[in-house]
Amino acid sequence: MQISELDTPAPVIDLDKVEANIKALQNYADSHNIVLRPHIKTHKLPLLAHKQLATGAKGITCQKISEAMVMAESGIQDILLSYNIVGKQKIKPLTNLACLSDLKVGLDNEVALATVAEAATLADKRIGVVLEFESGNERQGLREVSSCLALAQKVQSHAKLYFAGLMTYPLGQYTDAWLNEAKSAFAKAGMDIPNISAGGTPAMYKAHEHPDITELRAGTYIYHDRATVNAGVATWQNCALHLHVTVVSHPHPDRVIIDAGSKSLSSDLISSGKGYGQLVGYEEAVIYRLNEEHGLVDISACTRKPKIGDRLEVIPNHVCVVSNLHDEVVLQRQGKVEAIVPVLARGKTR
């Protein structure tokens, strides 16, 4: 089957590009003795997670219990759940996940720690706890080294938990200063820090400039998108997921409508330049507005104008959220469809 025979909108993934992207980051990590633990949120596909592991990744990173469970069910053992798991409803699914995998959980507070401890007790199996610190992103994570050390000591005092290191997202301006203070405080308390993990694709090739970082959690690098191209860590050629769309209306000389709106592309602008995605071959076109099923494209600056019925390709602003919107993705090589596969960890919000 040729790509041109697919119904649209269709997310189409170039496997040659995927494999090259996986290798590029693995080579970088290997050459700097950094462990790679890819975040699967970008692809949500066990088959690509297994490709990442086969190329040298030590384990994977997931954000929610339900998406980690999909990966564990596919046979993946070494899982970091990099999210505060809070509340009694989470205990049973977390226990199941712990039984199936070699689980580490990231957290920044005692309520989450109590949830993880209860799951470890029920699973009768040790769970690693990775403490999240805040180093410039102002999202979450411990800000005070003293609070972090106290929490680490609490982890070590629990028979079914062990302290599995520190994590931050992304590499920030305060990462090194924070770690220097932490290393000194932990050493004084007689505690080792077994691993220090940083996340994020935009700064991935700077990980080695932070001497304490021993692990990298990157997700987007497997597909790349307009945001990572704009961040300077990829070229348009590296972008492996294109959304194939059709022009369905041409209501004004300067405007065409594509059959992909926020339900196919998401409303994420993610500071990627003008509009909601880059049209391949129409660099001057701007997808300037999305309704749920309509993408409004300003073609006033285009020398070549698309017309109704034309099939176009969009490189998304933020590819991870696009994976989450589609039940299936098309896998291709050299323009030929290899398979259409369900996005098994799509929609896993819990």
Q: List contacts with its own copies (CB under 8 A).
A: 5-9, 41, 63-64, 83-87, 89-90, 93, 108-109, 111-112, 134, 138-143, 246-252, 255, 257, 259-260, 262-264, 266-269, 289, 291-294, 296, 308-309, 311, 320-321, 324-327, 347, 349-350
C-alpha dist (Å) from residue 94 to 45, 86, 160, 215: 20, 10, 14, 24
Residue (23 or 252) nearer to its own copies, CB: 252
Smallest separation, CB 279 to its own copies (Å): 17
Smallest separation, CB 211 to its own copies (Å): 26
Smallest separation, CB 261 to its own copies (Å): 9
Residue (237 or 271) nearer to its own copies, CB: 271
C-alpha dist (Å) from residue 225 to 61, 238, 346: 20, 8, 19
Smallest separation, CB 96 to its own copies (Å): 13
Residue (34 or 48) nearer to its own copies, CB: 48
Residue (51 or 64) nearer to its own copies, CB: 64
Residue (112 or 216) nearer to its own copies, CB: 112
- CB half-sphere exposure, 270, CA atoms < 13 A: 21
For residue 4, how many other CB atoms are within 10 A of its CB? 8
Residue (35 or 150) nearer to its own copies, CB: 150
Residue 60's H or E segment, with its range, is strand 60-62
Smallest separation, CB 239 to its own copies (Å): 19
Smallest separation, CB 89 to its own copies (Å): 4
C-alpha dist (Å) from residue 39 to 15, 52, 125, 133, 233: 18, 10, 24, 18, 17
As a whole number of angstroms, the distance between CA 156 and CA 49 comes to 31
Residue 97's H or E segment, with its range, is helix 91-100
CA 104 to chain centre: 17
- Helix, strand, coil percentages for the chain (3-state, nearest 5): 35, 25, 40
